[in-house]
Homo-oligomer: A and B are copies of this chain.
């Protein structure tokens, strides 16, 4: 089975490639290294050292005994994507090649438009390349739980049965995102749903929670590390909290900290993405999966990091609520369904406290790097201040 990973050089892409290699799939990958570039632009770097792609690919081949056939280019360039599709003729394609940072999209107008156009065009290109070259391909597209926002009703997986003024229908669950990045994912989901209606493409649209973790069980040595970002633009909540503790900074929930979000470990993320591949939707089905382990309040995560840090080091980390740079409800109802992946066989590989302990242990080995990056960890990108021209 020929599997193409768009965005193979990224946090999830690189870990996923290793999971799939361990299972024996024929792997093809594409990337344009834009995340490396954008991370450098904010003065940051991956805390885990990540070799250049040529070295990565060599280490990968050495360890797994099989190479990834790699293509350098931008999925938002249709000529590039068509070339890759014609050469690979993938049975399944993961689209992990979008701009993935909410704060980046909120820096200003330029970044808003870059996120919107780059993400939407990459997905539309993928739709057309699929229907033109390989209409049976299974498209597995990374979206986010953030597409749904925090409604005062239960969140379903993609669609819900609604009764209104005495009539019934099954309709797309209303989306209500909170950054240009999150909205670009909503727009992608809508475009994919429409593409499925047009051409019966087989699509899994993954509404993923926030991913945390330094490693997966396949990552056997430092040349196989995936990247790990902790800065305010490219890092995400739990990973950043752990890095804050390790580098002696306060752990900083935004605002009241009662925001609840779905989370899952990197190990579980690549497991779920593998399940999506191995248990595909029906022919012509557009399937939405809510992909997370559990949901937690940000305050609960902060306390868990504090406790784990104490247990590992004997030292106290401080929790300090900071002004919320985002526009979001800080206290709200939250009850999203996530039965489908469970029914397909997903079982969490660990539990939060143990996972966080592992992150802290790994980061302590790179404490100097965490300290070096101190300056870029605290929030600076303020949603309301997103700059114009």
Contact = CB atoms under 8 A, between A and B. Distances in A.
Interface in A163-216: 163-165, 167-169, 171-178, 180, 183, 186-187, 190-191, 193-194, 197-199
Contacts of A1: none
Given A109-B78, A112-B124, A125-B109, A165 B178 contact: no
Nearest to A172: B174
A194 to B, nearest CB: 6
Given A124-B116, A154-B164, A327-B198, A388 B169 contact: no
A152 interface: yes
B165 A162 contact: no
B171 A174 contact: yes
B191 A128 contact: no
A388 B82 contact: yes
Size class of the A contact interface (CB-based, 8 Å): 35 or more
A121 interface: yes
A167 B132 CA distance: 44
Contact of A198 (B121, B194, B384): B384
A64 interface: no
A124 B167 CA distance: 36
Nearest to A112: B124
Contacts of A175: 172, 190
A94 interface: no
